[in-house]
Amino acid sequence: MMTKQDIQAQLDALPDNRKTADVDRLIRALVKEKQDLSFLRAYVLREQQFHRIYFHGSLKQIKDANERLQWLDKNLLFSDWWHTDENIDFVKDADFERALSFARRYVYDSDPFIRRWGYVMFISKLCRDPAHLDELLALFHNDEAYYVQMAEGWLIAELAVFFPAQIEAWLKESGLRYEITGKAIQKICDSFRIDNALKARFKALRPEMKAVK
């Protein structure tokens, strides 16, 4: 059975200026060997070099997206926005209602990166079904944490790609502060998937959004 010291030795053998791609090659080897990486769980929040290895090495060995959701629910060990967002692709094929049941809890968690995960986990084909739009919009609420506000803005902008008219109307009634709606409008304006006419309509909402207290 491998140990933390074994993984550290393999990391130390990588180039001094190692890149994510170098670590990913190590992860692929561990996955191919079907290594049980559960022993790393105790270290990921204190020793960041193990975070990607633990999450990706474990999740890539789980084939079912709903089982990945369950694994993530037991391992909400997010220490920054990057390590949080990296998990989006692992749940894109999960059952929407199951994902939503977790998200309804996450968006009110005391940990801002768990709250962030409650939004960004839907930034995939999980947010594209019009039948689910109202349920997703019900997740949004005012949050003081910057990285959560950014996540909310990001998901709103993603929804605007597929449901621009609905999101434009909803923003006016949402009651969300400009710290969130302003970020959403900026991401909408930065998107290559939204045409300029729609961007202009969302930009025009800024004065109204700024007035929300």
- Measured between its terminal Cα atoms, the distance across the chain in Å is 56
Q: What is the pLDDT of residues 154-176, one digit of tens each?
A: 999 999 999 999 999 999 999 99
- Please provide the CATH number assigned to the domain covering 65-81+93-210: 1.25.40
Q: Is 71 exposed, middle or buried (0-12, 13-18, 19+ CB in 10 A)?
A: middle
Residue bearing tokens 């926005």: 81
- Residue extents of the structural domains in the chain: 1-61, 65-81+93-210
Residues whose CB is less than 8 angstroms from the CB of residue 111 and which lie 6 or more positions away in sequence, other chains included: 76, 78
Q: Is the pLDDT of residue 119 over 90?
A: yes
pTM for the model stands at: 0.95
Residues whose CB is less than 8 angstroms from the CB of residue 136 and which lie 6 or more positions away in sequence, other chains included: 100, 122, 127, 155, 159
Q: Is the pLDDT of residue 16 over 90?
A: no
Q: What is the pLDDT of residues 53-84, one digit of tens each?
A: 999 999 999 999 999 999 999 999 998 999 99
Nearest to 99 by CA among 139, 63, 39: 139
